[in-house]
Amino acid sequence: MSGEHASSTVAVRVRRLEERLVAAGVVGDDQLDAILTKLLNGASPVNGARVVARAWTDPGFKERLLADANTALPELGLSMAGGLQEQRLKVVENTETEHNVLVCTLCSCYPIGLLGPSPSWYKSEAYRSRVVRDPRSVLAEFGLELPDGVTVTVWDSSAESRYMVLPRRPDGTDARGEEALARLVTREGLIGTAAV
């Protein structure tokens, strides 16, 4: 099944659900449009990069972020409230011995507000099934070769829970401030398919 066909199938199913919700009087088209506008307005990997840069420079923020990301995000004017309910965010940290990668095996659940719209490969059936079974090979296809001693953990997002990777801070960046550090962070780094 091609990615384009899969995307169109999902779009048709989403529209059918929207139509049923409107017909049942649960929500109106205007409300759905407002929710989508609010969700996508300002949705960018720049937001996730700001979170990472703050965590790299502020140990207290990093500790709060890893303990409870939903309560730490407002410190940067961000939140996981974009739709009808707030989604739970868990930030997982890459270390010398552990690397994290994100997937949604059922569809394409993803923290849009922090990472921007998801890349097409994230929604593909091939990525969703293969990264769970053989994450090292998938990461290698992205150009990320990890040493044998590094454990790879795959985090599966759901409708209620989203994940974001806190990449390792690159060596030689101690003198850089938050803005300069944020410019180093990519969407792929926040997903775990690339190092920063």
Q: How far is CA 148 from the centre of its chain?
A: 25
Is the distance from CB of 190 to CB of 110 less than 8 angstroms? no
User: Catalytic annotation on 79?
Assistant: no
User: Catalytic annotation on 44?
Assistant: no
Residue 160 identity (one-letter amino acid): E
Q: How far apart are CA 78 and CA 135, in angstroms?
A: 30
19: phi then psi, degrees, rounded to nearest 5: -60, -40
Name beta bridge partners: 73: none
User: Catalytic annotation on 104?
Assistant: yes
Residue 151 identity (one-letter amino acid): T
User: Catalytic annotation on 108?
Assistant: yes
Q: Which of 196, 177, 180, 179 is nearest to 188 (CA)?
A: 196
* Count of residues in the chain: 196
The active-site residue, picked from 79, 107, 118, 158, is: 107
CB atoms within 10 A of CB 36: 12
Instruction: Find the helix packing angle between 29-40 and 3-23, rounded to 10°.
Output: 130
Q: Cite the active site residues.
A: 104, 107-109
